[in-house]
Amino acid sequence: MKKVLTIAGSDCSGGAGIQADIKTMTAHKVYAMSVITALTAQNTTGVYGVLDAGADFVGQQMDCVFKDIFPDAVKIGMVSNIETIQMIAAKLKEYNAKNIVVDPVMVSTSGCALMQPDAMDTLISVLLPMGDIITPNIPEAEKLCGFEIKNVDDMKKAAEVIGRNLSGSVLIKGGHLTETADDLLYHDGEFMWYRGERVNNPNTHGTGCTLSSAIASNLALGYDMKTSVQNAKNYITGALKDGLDLGEGSGPLNHCFNL
Ligand SMILES: Nc1ncnc2c1ncn2[C@@H]1O[C@H](COP(=O)(O)OP(=O)(O)O)[C@@H](O)[C@H]1O
Ligand SMILES: Cc1ncc(COP(=O)(O)OP(=O)(O)O)c(N)n1
């Protein structure tokens, strides 16, 4: 059985973070493991509290996983501070981790900062270059490229600028552009569009976490990057289309739909 590790924050309401990752990985029939960087008190209406696990404890969890059940892929989500980012990078290097997917989580859709602003430079210089693929949404990509992204042409320019300093691929997710749900992959110097039917569903809590975990699961299963992204795109569209409606705000996805 293939094994996938998520390094991310916990979402007690089960829609995003570690919980979304484990549900996604399990739906892909891979063995899921988790290193928890922070606990969040959140639900479909917002994020109400964050308790950091601390860099040392993150490192200890990574040691336990890598020394015993070596993962075939690693997904990294919420990492809130400089020390934790440095610890994760050092451990990934120490264990020579493979198939690294970095979702540069910065702010929740509800507007809560999930990464301390002073950690941005470390994220960019230390963690992003370790990714085989990074998966920013539009606001995150804007922070990384330094200009506004208003349309698909801007997405292309941003992917090129962000990808310039990286050896891995860049997937800019188009969920925050209004008319389409088209994602753009910049891979080996080439662009590839993943056209997505925009699903009329306001319940999008955890879409980014789910997509990145699905990519990691597919890489672990042995698919190449382009196919992994396509399979993950199909998965997220299916999970959105299912139309689960829970909670009073932007609800979670259903991972129990037929793949
Ligand atoms: N309403 C929607 N219909 C179809 N796909 C969507 C919709 N909203 C988001 N997606 C897809 O979900 C994935 C996550 O995108 P996005 O919402 O931009 O990221 P994040 O959750 O990190 O903000 C992308 O593949 C995006 O195209
Ligand atoms: C613990 C935790 N991690 C990440 C997120 C953000 O999830 P994401 O799928 O990127 O997007 P939204 O759910 O905010 O739309 C989170 N909320 N909590």
Structure tokens at 239: 């999970």
Does 71 score more than 90 pLDDT? yes
Give the DSSP H or E segment for 3. Answer: strand 3-11
Domain spans, the chain: 3-128+199-241
pLDDT at 29: 97
Taking only Cα atoms into account, the Rg of the chain, rounded to an integer number of angstroms, comes to: 17
C-alpha–C-alpha distance, residues 172 and 185, integer Å: 7
Distance (Å) from CA 46 to ligand 1 centroid: 18
Q: Which of 75, 206, 233, 251 is flagged as catalytic?
A: 206
Q: Is 88 in a helix, a strand, or coil?
A: helix
What average pLDDT does the segment 118-128 reach? 96
Lowest mean pLDDT of 19-33, 106-120, 204-218, name the range: 106-120
Q: Which of 209, 215, 250 to mutate to test the pocket of ligand 2 (most atoms within 8 A of CB)?
A: 209
Provide the CATH number for the domain formed by 3-128+199-241 in this structure: 3.40.1190.20
Q: Is 253 in a helix, a strand, or coil?
A: coil
Distance (Å) from CA 205 to ligand 2 centroid: 7
Q: Please, which residues bridge with residue 38 across strands?
A: 9, 52
45 is catalytic: no
Q: Is 17 in a helix, a strand, or coil?
A: helix
pLDDT band at 258 (very low <50, low <70, confident <90, very high): low
pLDDT band at 125 (very low <50, low <70, confident <90, very high): very high
Does 6 score more than 90 pLDDT? yes
Q: Judging by DSSP bridges, how do beta strands 183-187 and 190-194 pair with one another?
A: antiparallel
Cβ < 6 A, ligand 2 pocket: 8-9, 11, 16-17, 40, 77-78, 105, 108-109, 114, 204-209
Q: Please, which residues bridge with residue 170 across strands?
A: 134, 186
- Tell me which amino acid residue 163 is: G
Which tens digits make up the pLDDT trace of 210-230? 999 999 999 999 999 999 999
The closest of 243, 256, 171, 253 to 210, measured between CA atoms, is 253
Whether the CB-CB separation of 97 and 61 falls below 8 Å is answered with: no
Q: Which of 173, 196, 210, 233 is flagged as catalytic?
A: 173
Does 259 score more than 70 pLDDT? no
